[in-house]
Structure 1
């Protein structure tokens, strides 16, 4: 059984720190001076860590969401904020998974809760120690009309961490242990299975806490049964292929 479980996943996360602190904590450099937003939404820039040409960690701004932005007055976009680990070998994620890997630091991430004691709310999940959460990501590279580099990233998503599943959501970002960051971000192309082995070795299940950010509008109840079905399908897939989304 390998059913498809599509839904809006992590479309909002928080970075309640500053560029200097991120660089110091992650032993990274930054040649870009940019403001870090406290709240990151699709189509906004976030600080992202990647390996540069000198084989050093570098923090640089990347747009949250890979894909096509048509530049029309309507502001229409066709972007993908999340990459299901199960879809790593499919278009349009395959090329980036093989060539362009990154790490996205955050202090919390936000999800809707559809079951449990917190059902009907939107929750922010953060590390119990208040530190950075380090999410695996991939990015795309293109050139703008004026020949500048345009970078956009997508968060790698896995079956929910147990704490997130208990609090009403079936997916969560794929967090990494600090000692695995360089192995994940290794510059250059490599086979997908090599990256899977890195994820297997360095997957992190950080102790989390959560807080209620807001109560959803009453219409959330109409979405509850569909999300319970997604939960049950996800739990069945975990039983089949394991908690990381791959064997």
Structure 2
């Protein structure tokens, strides 16, 4: 799974990386080295003005943890931070968004926790956080879905998102068995376009990171606390 990630991009750098304009509701956020479920983060989507127009990319600010349109309250999103690519087209919580509302989730890198062997006297194994990031410093485009949910008490719309995952590739599988799926720039338009596409075609656009592209290294357990936030969280350390 992907339960935390980092994004330090500004609207200007995201516009350059994804050629996306700002939605009217976009909120400029500060650099976040510890994005956790329910927090706001930028996502890239595409909209069509009409059937004859090409899809136009937009930057939205959305809440992490997808809230289906039929949900009674937004708390269900706390359990919807990831969608398994193997079942996303069929799961009631995700299938409508998968068919119509696909997104890119920009990230500098993401965290996974490795369960080490228990130390002497420990009942549970200690979990060591690892930060996984492109070796070339580029921005990751994680595959995501987004949804709109109407808060009738507040009379406002909540925009939320989830991140698609797959089985981890060999050189990252030793850290965690799951990892996010990514998109290459040449696949952005097809993935984001809300026009109907077959499930096989959509899933064919999603790929694990190219072998050797990502670097994984242990970081401080300070990232375990969502209140901690800063560049020190992604500094490599000796495994604790």
Structure 1 residue ranges, 4+ long, deviating more than 4 angstroms after superposition: 75-78
User: Normalising by the residue count of structure 2, what TM-score does the alignment of the two structures yield?
Assistant: 0.74
- Is contact 2:22–2:58 with CA below 8 Å preserved after alignment? yes
How far did 1:70 drift? Answer: 3.7
Show the 5 A alignment for 1:80-99: 80-88=80-88, 89-99=90-100
> Quick one: structure 1 residues 69 and 197, their matched pair in 2 at CA, closer, same or farther if it must change by over 3 Å?
same
Corresponding residue of 1:213: 219
Corresponding residue of 2:29: 35
Equivalent in 159, 166, 172 of residue 158 of structure 1: 166
- Is contact 1:100–1:188 with CA below 8 Å preserved after alignment? no
Show the 5 A alignment for 1:45-194: 45-54=40-49, 55-67=55-67, 68=71, 70=73, 78-88=78-88, 89-114=90-115, 120-145=127-152, 147-166=155-174, 168-194=175-201
- Please list every run of 5 or more consecutive structure 1 residues that lacks an aligned counterpart in the other structure: 1-8, 217-247
> Quick one: structure 1 residues 176 and 40, their matched pair in 2 at CA, closer, same or farther if it must change by over 3 Å?
same
User: Normalising by the residue count of structure 1, what TM-score does the alignment of the two structures yield?
Assistant: 0.72
- Is contact 1:124–1:210 with CA below 8 Å preserved after alignment? yes
How far did 1:193 drift? Answer: 2.5
How far did 1:58 drift? Answer: 0.6
> Quick one: structure 1 residues 50 and 76, their matched pair in 2 at CA, closer, same or farther if it must change by over 3 Å?
closer
- Is contact 2:85–2:203 with CA below 8 Å preserved after alignment? no
More helix as a share of residues: 1
Deviation per CA, 1:101-154: give whole Å up to 9, x if none: 0000100100001369xx841011000011101111111222233554321110
CA distance in 1, matches of 2:116, 2:41: 30
RMSD of the alignment, in Å?
2.5
Aligned residues: 200
- Please list every run of 5 or more consecutive structure 2 residues that lacks an aligned counterpart in the other structure: 50-54, 118-125, 223-240
Name whichever of 18-27 and 182-191 sits farther off.
182-191
